[in-house]
Amino acid sequence: MNTLLTKVLLLQNTRALLCAASSLQSQVLTTQMPLGVLLTNRQYRSMPTHGIGKYRHLLPKALPKKKKDRVQAKQIKAATATEFGVFNVCVSGYDMTLVEHYSQYIHNLCNHLDIKVDESCALPTKSTEVMVMQEQGTKMYVDAVLKTHERIVQISEMKATLFPIFMEVVLKNQPEGVRLCVKQHTEADYQARFKTRPELEGLLAKIHN
């Protein structure tokens, strides 16, 4: 604090001196005194180094973090004469590694051929219980549980001339044990992926009744 006071006094002294000596045009004006001690370290705008060290303007604009919106239903584009609309390539089977690798293969193929892939998702696994009838008796007991896995690659705006080539490549590389199905995408398909809400449906039923 003392040093600051002394510096202030010194400054005032020099200022006084400057004012006094300005008329005399003395060399005090060119003093080496660090006038910038109290003043901030700003460069003058005409100095070439003005703004040196600034970086905030180079960073990407960080948008304010918004809460996750509810997933909106996308508009399903219709087919035109030269392009398909939105269609789903469904891969299903019992062996999950095969099914997943095949769906990844299809997705990579689309990326490579510049085909737009809207979504690449999985449908819930369906379990099938294989029940075997006992030989002496009427009771059935569970023999095996088979799980059917399903993956969907949703493609939109594919050119009609490219489609036969794409289908041929996909069919020729289909592994054994995997079933392939190419279907048009409908609203019903989209809604089927959501979970049912029994309370909501109960309340709606009550309102209507």
Q: Which of 119, 89, 117, 82 is nearest to 103 (CA)?
A: 89
| Binding residue (CB under 8 A) for another protein from 176, 191, 205, 208 | 176
Q: What is the crossing angle of helices 163-172 and 96-112, to 10°?
A: 150
User: Quick check: 107 and 117 in contact, CB under 8 A?
Assistant: yes
Contact set for another protein, span 75-104 (CB under 8 A):
79, 81, 84
Q: Which of 102, 108, 109 is nearest to 175 (CA)?
A: 102
Rounded Cα distance between 69 and 73, Å, is 12
| Binding residue (CB under 8 A) for another protein from 117, 163, 189, 190 | 163
H-type helices in 23-130, by residue range?
Answer: 96-112
Interface with another protein, residue 188, by CB under 8 A: no
Minimum separation from the CB atom of position 75 to another protein (A): 18
Q: Among 37-45, 69-77, 107-115, 165-173, which window interacts with another protein (CB under 8 A)?
A: 165-173
Minimum separation from the CB atom of position 165 to another protein (A): 8
| Binding residue (CB under 8 A) for another protein from 9, 37, 38, 181 | 181
Q: Using CB under 8 A as the criterion, which residues of the chain lie in contact with another protein when the complex forms?
A: 79, 81, 84, 160-161, 163-165, 167-169, 171-176, 179-184
